[in-house]
């Protein structure tokens, strides 16, 4: 302070001297003037200006900046003080210049005709000169103490504001340190700081330096504040819209502060000159843009999570849609979401049902963001591609579609979207019963939603939120209404929604055929593993799929289910057949008789040889069938089926349901209590690898034990020491709980087989043309191999896969983009 006051004294002296010098100069000039009026050398004001400019340049401005330079090690309290002092000093000095000008104006007036310093221009000129010089001498480090000044004040304001807000958290009143000024509470300087702050700003405004000196610092401080605030309100909460809140916050808290800066303390804008009002409103526009941009970026970064929990995140998504209209962050959105999808979704650690569920959510959510679906395609294309590469995708889709339990999310997702369709085909009596209850509810809802859904196609643009709200609430209601004869309207709606969802899933493949094929394999497995002739559920699901894919596609599935019904009929008839019944029956026999042409191909690398006693009994059944259905016969798939066994050992009695292979194994051990794997494999015609796995079941039942390598012995009586453990084991396993191997060849196996027909063509081509690229082979195949009925379509990708497998098997060579045959 001493230094500052010393400076002030010096400055005063300095200015007095200028004044005197100018006056002297003028008087001598005037002498000359009286004689030769036209040769006045110097306008007195120009002279004054020159002197003032020099002082400003050499003394005032360097002095002003001097505190800014050495500010690196200062704390914010010192910085605050330094800035205040510097501004004060500058302000005082400029006042002095003005006063000296005023004094000069009183004592003299310029006689020049076109003096460039009309008296009212003088003050303006000094101001501009100070402003210009300040900026021209701006030091590198100048922002440090400016920041400290505004930060200190900002803290105080935030604290005051926080104290005024109704607080969610219990504030710690015991704090000794004031949150605002960081001083001990008893010495709180908050009010002092506020006062100084306003005074300083006022001076800066007066000097015309507020925006130039503090603008960028202010802006960055407010930006930080905006960022923090946006993060705090939108962090991990997706179920609330924040736009209104953010706008309000900007309008009140931030703008309040800004207005106070411009008014030097008042919160009212009314008294401000237009210049400042415009400045404030421009500032506000920029801040509002920044606020939206920040919020948009946050929501974009959260978009993957928003999709994961959609539709619970509907408010956040709505916000994002609004925000995207205000700025151009689509590219950022795309790259960010793509990155997240790639790193968080499309990797081996995520289960296929989870990927499918996310895929569906993404479709629903992104459609709302961008009704044109461009965004949707960009984002979901890699997902589709990835899903296509996963072996279990179709199976997951189908089982999700058919899974009636709420076991997984995908099933839930699907169930939520097919409330009525599925029940359409259910029995009529339940329908009658329930329709009475639901009519009332239906009617009320019907009145509400009908008008909105009529033009649902076009409405996406106009009122997306309204529509989706309606829809979700609608389906929420409908999914609770159990069977009823659907009114035409409701049927249409649920069908659209449902088929839409199925097409999303089928779209992953782009091919209905593949999807239907996989469904057929799945249905086959289910029917064969149940073997209880209960087909109601399957039939209902089939009806559901038929609505989507059409009768033709699913014809074979219908025959498959019909086979089960027919089989039951045949069994009943045979069991009433006197001839069959009068013969000795080794055991109760029934058969599931399949129409082979309509079932997926069976895996038949080997054919299980059944024990003689079983063969004889099954042959009797064949004869009975032949006499029941003229000109037809049946052929047993010996390894598929379900056998109920009663096993009695010296110390145990078990009743088990097992597969024919398991039954055959244990029956062989009844005849001979020790078998080597090879012997048994020979008798049963089953490969040793398969056999070993199946024997494992009996070992786990402690009926067999491996005494030496590949030699198994019957355990007719348990070792008393181990018996307890063994009986515990057997009680748990009442049924064959081994994972049921699919009896069907997988779809990709089937496809591989189909493609084999191309192989001879390819070999022919390569024999004649030596070597060819993939595309050429594909073209040639299209020309030669795809003619006639039953032509097999083959995509380029499939062909590549097929050829690459051939390369692996050393049937082909591949180098520098060309396939060729190995030299034999």
- Residues in 534-563 that interact with other proteins by CB under 8 A: 555, 558-559, 562
Dihedral over Cα of 294, 296, 300, 303: its sign = positive
Decide the pairing of beta strands 771-773 and 711-714: unpaired
Query: Per rule CB under 8 A, is residue 643 in the interface with other proteins?
Result: yes
Query: Minimum distance between the CB of residue 682 and other proteins, rounded to whole angstroms?
Result: 21
Q: Residues 6 or more apart from 721 whose CB is under 8 A from it?
A: none
Cis upstream peptide for 69 (omega within 30°): no
Give the interface segment with other proteins, choosing from 267-275, 277-285, 338-346, 619-627 (CB under 8 A). 619-627
HSE-CB for 109 with a 13 A CA cutoff: 7
Query: Minimum distance between the CB of residue 598 and other proteins, rounded to whole angstroms?
Result: 7
Could you tell me which residues are beta bridge partners of residue 655? 646
Q: Name the H helices within 165-273.
A: 190-207, 215-234, 243-249, 255-263
- Residues in 396-435 that interact with other proteins by CB under 8 A: none
Burial 38-60 (b: 16+ CB within 10 A, else e): eebeebbbebbbebbbebbbeeb
DSSP 399-452: HHHH--SS-SHHHHHHHHT-TTHHHHTS-HHHHHHHHHHHHHHHHHHHHHHHHH
Query: Per rule CB under 8 A, is residue 516 in the interface with other proteins?
Result: no
Q: Residues 6 or more apart from 61 whose CB is under 8 A from it?
A: 130, 133, 134, 137
Give the interface segment with other proteins, choosing from 376-384, 394-402, 655-663, 686-694 (CB under 8 A). 655-663
Query: Minimum distance between the CB of residue 677 and other proteins, rounded to whole angstroms?
Result: 20
What mask of x and - would describe binding to other proteins in positions 659 to 678, judged by CB under 8 A?
-x--x--xx-xx--x-----
* Nearer residue to other proteins within complex by CB, 164 or 650: 650
Query: Per rule CB under 8 A, is residue 642 in the interface with other proteins?
Result: yes
- Residues in 714-753 that interact with other proteins by CB under 8 A: 714, 716
Query: Per rule CB under 8 A, is residue 631 in the interface with other proteins?
Result: yes
- C-beta of residue 210 within 8 angstroms of C-beta of residue 201: yes
Query: Minimum distance between the CB of residue 551 and other proteins, rounded to whole angstroms?
Result: 8
Give the interface segment with other proteins, choosing from 21-29, 180-188, 647-655, 721-729 (CB under 8 A). 647-655
C-alpha 705/C-alpha 317 separation (Å) is: 62
Q: Which phi-psi region, left, alpha or beta, contains residue 84 (left: φ > 0; alpha: ψ -120 to 50)?
A: alpha
DSSP 668-734: HHHH-SEEEHHHHHHHHT--HHHHHHHHHHHHHTTSEEEEETTEEEE-SS--HHHHHHHHHHHHH--
Burial classification of residue 767, based on how many CB atoms lie within 10 Å of its CB (0-12 exposed, 13-18 middle, 19 or more buried): exposed
Binder among 329, 608, 618, 718 for other proteins (CB under 8 A): 618
Query: Per rule CB under 8 A, is residue 619 in the interface with other proteins?
Result: no
Binder among 625, 675, 697, 819 for other proteins (CB under 8 A): 625
Query: Minimum distance between the CB of residue 791 and other proteins, rounded to whole angstroms?
Result: 15
Secondary structure of 105-139 as H, E, C letters = HHHCCCCCCCCCCCHHHHHHHHHHHHHHHHHHCCC
Binder among 104, 329, 594, 744 for other proteins (CB under 8 A): 594
Binder among 25, 649, 750, 811 for other proteins (CB under 8 A): 649
Query: Minimum distance between the CB of residue 366 and other proteins, rounded to whole angstroms?
Result: 41
Binder among 75, 457, 461, 588 for other proteins (CB under 8 A): 588
* Nearer residue to other proteins within complex by CB, 211 or 558: 558
* Nearer residue to other proteins within complex by CB, 479 or 568: 568
Burial 414-432 (b: 16+ CB within 10 A, else e): bbbbbbbbbbbbbeeeebe
Binder among 647, 684, 744, 766 for other proteins (CB under 8 A): 647
Query: Per rule CB under 8 A, is residue 120 in the interface with other proteins?
Result: no
Query: Minimum distance between the CB of residue 725 and other proteins, rounded to whole angstroms?
Result: 20
Query: Per rule CB under 8 A, is residue 617 in the interface with other proteins?
Result: yes
Query: Per rule CB under 8 A, is residue 605 in the interface with other proteins?
Result: no
Kindly state the number of chain residues that form the binding site for other proteins, as judged by CB under 8 A: 58
Binding site for other proteins (CB under 8 A): 528, 531, 555, 558-559, 562, 566, 586-599, 614, 617-618, 621-622, 625, 629, 631-638, 640-650, 655, 660, 663, 666-667, 669-670, 673, 703, 714, 716
């Amino acid at each position: 302070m001493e230094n500052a006051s010393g400076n002030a004294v010096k400055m005063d002296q300095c200015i007095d001297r200028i004044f005197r010098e100018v006056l002297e100069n003028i008087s001598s000039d005037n002498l000359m003037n009286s004689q030769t009026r036209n040769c006045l050398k110097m306008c007195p004001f120009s002279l004054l200006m020159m002197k003032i400019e020099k002082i400003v340049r050499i003394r005032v401005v360097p002095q002003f900046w001097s505190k800014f330079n050495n500010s690196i090690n200062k704390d914010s309290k010192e910085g605050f003080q330094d800035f205040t002092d510097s501004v004060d000093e500058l302000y005082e000095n400029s006042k002095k210049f003005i006063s000296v000008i005023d004094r000069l104006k009183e004592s003299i007036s310029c006689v020049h005709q076109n003096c460039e310093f009309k008296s009212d221009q003088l003050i303006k000129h000094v101001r501009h000169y100070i402003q210009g010089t300040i900026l021209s001498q701006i030091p590198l480090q100048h922002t440090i103490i400016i920041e400290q000044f505004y930060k200190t004040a900002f803290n105080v304001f935030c604290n005051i504001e926080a104290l005024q807000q109704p607080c969610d958290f219990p504030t710690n009143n015991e704090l000794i340190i004031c949150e605002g000024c960081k001083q001990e509470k008893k010495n709180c300087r908050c009010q002092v700081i506020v006062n100084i702050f306003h005074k300083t700003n006022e001076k800066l405004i007066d000097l015309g330096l507020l925006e130039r000196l503090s603008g960028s610092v202010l802006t960055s401080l407010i930006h930080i504040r905006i960022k923090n605030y946006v993060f705090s309100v939108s962090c991990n909460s997706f179920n609330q819209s924040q736009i209104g809140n953010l706008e309000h916050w900007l309008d009140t808290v931030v703008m309040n502060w800004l207005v106070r800066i411009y008014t030097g303390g008042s919160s009212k804008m009314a008294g401000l000159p237009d210049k400042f009002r415009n400045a404030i409103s421009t500032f506000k526009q920029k801040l509002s843009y920044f606020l939206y941009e920040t919020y948009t970026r946050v929501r974009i970064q959260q978009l993957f999570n928003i999709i994961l929990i959609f539709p619970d995140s509907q408010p956040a998504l709505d916000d994002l849609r609004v925000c995207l209209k205000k700025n151009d962050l689509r590219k950022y959105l795309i790259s960010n979401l793509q990155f997240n999808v790639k790193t968080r979704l499309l990797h081996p650690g995520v289960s296929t049902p989870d990927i499918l569920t996310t895929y569906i959510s993404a479709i629903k959510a992104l459609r709302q963001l961008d009704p044109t679906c461009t965004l949707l395609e960009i984002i979901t294309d890699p997902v589709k591609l990835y899903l296509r590469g996963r072996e279990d995708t179709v199976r997951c889709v189908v089982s999700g579609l058919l899974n009636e339990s709420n076991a997984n999310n995908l099933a839930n997702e699907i169930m939520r979207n097919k409330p009525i369709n599925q029940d359409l085909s259910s029995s009529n009596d339940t329908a009658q019963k329930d329709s009475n209850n639901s009519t009332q509810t239906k009617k009320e809802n019907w009145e509400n939603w009908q008008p909105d859904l009529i033009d649902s196609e076009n409405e996406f643009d106009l009122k997306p939120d309204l529509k989706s709200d309606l829809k979700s609430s609608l389906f929420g209601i409908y999914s609770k209404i159990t069977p009823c004869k659907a009114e035409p309207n409701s049927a249409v709606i649920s069908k659209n929604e449902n088929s839409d969802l199925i097409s999303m899933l089928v779209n992953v493949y782009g091919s209905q055929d593949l999807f239907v094929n996989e469904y057929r394999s799945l249905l086959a497995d289910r029917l064969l593993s149940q073997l209880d002739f209960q087909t109601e559920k399957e039939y209902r699901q089939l009806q559901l799929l038929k609505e989507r894919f059409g009768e033709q596609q699913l014809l074979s599935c219908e025959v498959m289910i019909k086979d089960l019904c027919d089989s039951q009929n045949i069994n009943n008839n045979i069991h009433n057949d006197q001839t069959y019944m009068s013969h000795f029956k080794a055991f109760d026999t029934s058969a599931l008789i399949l129409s082979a042409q309509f079932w997926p191909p069976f895996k038949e690398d080997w054919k299980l040889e059944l024990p003689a006693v079983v063969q004889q009994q099954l042959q009797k059944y064949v004869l009975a069938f032949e006499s029941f259905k003229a000109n037809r016969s049946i052929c047993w798939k010996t390894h598929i089926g379900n056998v109920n066994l009663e096993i009695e050992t010296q110390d145990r009695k078990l009743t088990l349901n097992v597969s024919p292979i398991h039954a055959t194994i244990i029956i062989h051990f009844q005849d001979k209590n020790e078998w080597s794997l090879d012997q048994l494999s020979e008798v049963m015609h089953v490969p040793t690898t398969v056999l070993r796995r199946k024997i494992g079941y009996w070992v786990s039942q402690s009926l067999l034990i491996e005494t030496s390598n590949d030699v198994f012995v019957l355990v007719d009586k348990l070792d008393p020491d181990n018996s307890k453990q063994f009986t515990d084991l057997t009680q748990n396993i009442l049924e064959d709980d081994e994972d049921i191997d699919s009896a069907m060849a997988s779809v990709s196996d089937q496809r591989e087989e189909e493609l084999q027909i191309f192989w001879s063509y390819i070999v022919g081509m390569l024999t004649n043309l030596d070597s060819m690229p993939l595309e050429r082979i594909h073209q040639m195949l299209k020309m030669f191999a795809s003619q006639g009925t039953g032509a097999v379509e083959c995509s380029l990708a499939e062909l590549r896969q097929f050829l690459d497998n051939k390369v692996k098997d050393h049937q082909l060579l591949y180098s520098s983009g060309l396939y060729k045959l190995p030299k034999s």
